[in-house]
Structure 1
Amino acid sequence: MYIKSRFARRYIPALLTYGTLTAICGVAVLVLAPYALLWVIPFLPLIAIAVEEAHCRRERSVLSGFATVLAASLTLPVAAGFGIAAPGTGQWQDILHIPWSIWLCTIFVFLYFAGTVFYVKTNIRERGNSKYLVASLAWHGIALACAGIAAFMFGGWWIAHALLWLVLTFRAWIVPYRAQHGKPLTIMALGMGEVFASIVLAIVWYLCI
């Protein structure tokens, strides 16, 4: 809000409070795991995009949404990297030892939450916009294909994961379709649906790992 408001003074107390707490936590992390500083490389451009979009009051743009989602998705391998070595003993090479299953789940975390950027827009701000609907269906279709490949290669819970993507892809079509024909879901219903889908996917991702 501080950036979006063009640096309004009323947001300075909140900025200082949360900024200070974040700085303290950040320093503590770097003391225990100095190699975590390497994560600045992928995070910095994503933060820059989000800040620029907020400054231009385009925080709801697809670009801003994707940058934010990708940054959030990367917290999964970041957390996994911290768990590989004991505090104070880790090296930058530990990042290279993050299990492939973590990276694969990170990809699907990004695919899902980036897909929600399209899904929500096709049901609210861009309802009836055929271009957004096509983009949403294309995105979910790509994710479904990736999930199918993972299920074929690894079996197990990845098969259930692929079936979930089949449901999500169908949802990406049927919900906007019904909305365009006078039967839209309420914002509350959309939100609760996302919460439920996120919980189910999180459980399946955990089982896949």
Structure 2
Amino acid sequence: MKYGVYLRPKPERAISGDAYTIREAEGSVLLGLADGLGSGEEAARASRLAVACIEEHASLPLVEILQRCHFALRNTRGVVLGLLRVDLQAGQVRYAGVGNIGIYALTREPFHPISYNGIVGYRLPRVHEFVAPYHPGDLFVLYSDGVNGAFHGNEALLRTEEDPQEIAGTIARLYGRPDDDVSVLVAR
């Protein structure tokens, strides 16, 4: 798989409250995107702690990773968090998310996961994994609430053979909100 990432802090802030991780291991890839509540240093601290927790527990099922992160973030302002695992060998994709982290999948077979309402570190809802077949060429976009989801309708952008880094940058540039941290993580 190839990846593209775009992160931009809120204009008046020096640091983004969003963080991400990409972990490749044994024929699978784990992608995580965390958005710390609010913006600035405290949001960044919470999202960095979430990423460290994801990386420490990357081999666990997604729901268990969310539970571990919830416990680790109890003394922070919390995060919203999306986790996507692509098992390249088994041909399967899984998603679990909490809060207003967005996910969009342009796949050969239907895959329409959602994130459950809640805050990791404050109120963790009952979360279920969404599972679907994976085929090479399937496109996945994780994005923070600093991105307008209207890009879902931009088929020309999403169906292009462009590098995922170009797609992430274009989504951020065209659909990023000017008054928030912006993060986009693309995998194909």
Q: Same fold (TM over 0.5)?
A: no
Q: Which of the pair has the greater relative contact order for Cα pairs under 8 Å at 6+ separation?
A: 2
- For the pair shown, the structure with the greater C-alpha radius of gyration is 1
Which protein is richer in strand relative to its size? 2
